[in-house]
């Protein structure tokens, strides 16, 4: 009798589809040989599953790496086209400019608050005619002007009209630019 046929007759392999458990049973006159054969089946199955998983993961990784390269090339190309368009048409990077404006406005606002607090402290000690109070009052006024200029609002002109007002506002839809222009 052929060894394969004898092994096949003495081996039973079944799978419980609900639990995913694979049962391997080997019948032999020697319990040690039956255990060794069943163990060899398990070892071989583990090796095969490992190879298939590694091969599948490798193919998926190679595919994703290729897609990443294509996406990076597309992004670089789009970025290059945007840079060329921006330099050609004189556009600006709204997000970078907006962040810089917010940072500067935050710094100025902090300086303004500190100067106002110091001014209030000096006013409790000195009169408004004191040189330190007048200097700090001028500083507060200058900080307010800088903050208003940065935020896009202008003081009224000598005629009382607002000459130009430009704002950038951020909401969930992105940056929005609004401009108001009135005759001075």
Whether residue 26 has pLDDT greater than 50: yes
Residues 174-179 have a mean pLDDT of 48
Residues 136-165 have a mean pLDDT of 68
Whether residue 68 has pLDDT greater than 50: yes
Integer Rg of the chain from CA: 39
pTM tops 0.95, yes or no: no
Whether residue 97 has pLDDT greater than 50: yes
pLDDT at site 92 = 64
Residues 50-73 have a mean pLDDT of 83
CA distances (Å), 100 to each of 23, 96, 105, 111, 115, in order?
66, 6, 8, 17, 22
Whether residue 64 has pLDDT greater than 50: yes
Q: Could you please report the per-residue DSSP string of 105-152?
A: HHHHHHHHHHHHHHHHHHHHHS-TTSHHHHHHHHHHHHHHHHHHHHHT
Using 50, 70 and 90 to split pLDDT, how confident is the model at 173?
A: low
Residues 26-50 have a mean pLDDT of 87
Q: Which residues pair with 166 in a beta bridge?
A: 179
Give which of 156, 154, 161 is closest to 179, Cα–Cα.
Answer: 154
pLDDT at site 152 = 67
Whether residue 164 has pLDDT greater than 60: no
Contact call for residues 163 and 153 (beta carbons, < 8 A)? no
pLDDT at site 167 = 45
């Amino acid at each position: 009798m052929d060894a394969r046929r004898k092994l096949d007759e003495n081996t039973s392999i079944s799978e419980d589809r609900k639990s995913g458990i694979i049962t391997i049973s080997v019948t032999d006159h020697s319990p040690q040989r039956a255990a060794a054969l069943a163990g060899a089946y398990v070892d071989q199955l583990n090796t095969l599953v490992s190879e298939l998983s590694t091969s599948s993961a490798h193919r998926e990784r190679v595919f994703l790496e290729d897609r990443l390269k294509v996406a990076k090339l597309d992004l670089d190309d789009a970025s290059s086209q945007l840079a060329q368009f921006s330099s050609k048409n004189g556009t600006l990077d709204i997000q970078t400019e907006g962040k810089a404006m917010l940072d500067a406005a935050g710094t100025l606002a902090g300086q303004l608050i500190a100067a106002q607090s110091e001014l209030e402290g000096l006013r409790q000690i000195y009169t408004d005619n004191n040189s330190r109070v007048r200097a700090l009052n001028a500083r507060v006024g200058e900080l307010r002007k800088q903050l208003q200029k940065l935020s896009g609002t202008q003081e009224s002109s000598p005629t009382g009209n607002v000459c130009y007002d430009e704002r950038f506002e951020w909401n969930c839809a992105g940056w929005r630019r609004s401009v108001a222009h009135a005759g001075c």
